[in-house]
Amino acid sequence: MSVNEVYVFRPFKLIALLCVFLALCLDLVALLSPAWVTADHFSQSLWESCSQSGARSPAEEEEAPWSCFSSLTSDWQIATLVLLGAGAVATLVAFLVALVSLCWGTQRQQYRVVAVFLFTAVVLQACALVLYPIKFIDGTIRETYHEFNWGYGLGWGATIFMLGGGILFCLRTDFYEDALY
């Protein structure tokens, strides 16, 4: 770069990489979260369901034992886990490709590949996150109030960050930068 050349640094790709990293972290925490659905004396994650039996008063709640069993007993629970896992793998591949392309300076060639992986992960995650509450409510009738907890919310947060990263990787900032040289 000579003295007369101007270079404008637009950090869109770095922000996109940060979005993908945050999406990956949120996705991993959501997959490992122990709380996707909670209710009185009940908790369910992607991996197991736990219920507390015999507790009728607040004093008995601390002493009553929790019994846990695998929640991977139906097809929709397995499908949810597979879709979320596939979305996490696609996000990991997108993150690694984006990191390598930004570090080695071959950005323009891999931006579309990263965006395709991210949009694929968004579709997989959204399908899983819509499937889970529909089938949970359809197949399980709870006598008490239940709510979808922070693990489920982190799954949506990861999906939103994936979508944001994919959109930022689709931006063509090279048109603006080439005109300044």
Question: pLDDT (tens digit, 9 = 90+) per residue, 76-109?
Answer: 889 999 999 999 999 999 999 988 888 877 666 6
| DSSP-based three-state secondary structure for 35 | coil
Measured between alpha carbons, how far is 150 from 135 in angstroms, rounded to an integer?
18
pLDDT at 1 over 60: no
Query: Which residue has better confidence, 8 or 137?
Result: 137
pLDDT at 46 over 80: yes
- What strands, in cross-sheet order, belong to the sheet with 146-148? 66-70, 48-52, 42-44, 37-39, 146-148
pLDDT band at 156 (very low <50, low <70, confident <90, very high): very high
- Range with the lowest mean pLDDT among 38-47, 59-68, 115-124? 59-68
Q: 81 CB contacts (<8 Å, ≥6 apart)?
A: 31, 46, 47, 72, 128
The pLDDT score that the predictor gives to residue 121 is 96
Residue written as token pair 């949009």: 119
Query: Which residue has better confidence, 78 or 61?
Result: 78
54 torsion bin: left (phi>0), alpha (psi -120 to 50), beta (else): left
Nearest CA-CA partner of 51 in 28, 67, 69, 35? 67
Measured between alpha carbons, how far is 78 from 178 in angstroms, rounded to an integer?
49
The pLDDT score that the predictor gives to residue 6 is 56
- Give the chain's mean pLDDT: 82
Domain boundaries, the chain: 23-35+68-176
Measured between alpha carbons, how far is 157 from 173 in angstroms, rounded to an integer?
26
pLDDT band at 120 (very low <50, low <70, confident <90, very high): very high
The pLDDT score that the predictor gives to residue 68 is 84
Measured between alpha carbons, how far is 41 from 50 in angstroms, rounded to an integer?
8
Cross-strand bridge partners of residue 51: 42, 67
The secondary element (H helix, E strand) that includes residue 37 is strand 37-39
Q: List, for residues 159-179, the tens digit of each pLDDT value.
A: 999 999 999 988 876 555 444
| DSSP-based three-state secondary structure for 63 | coil
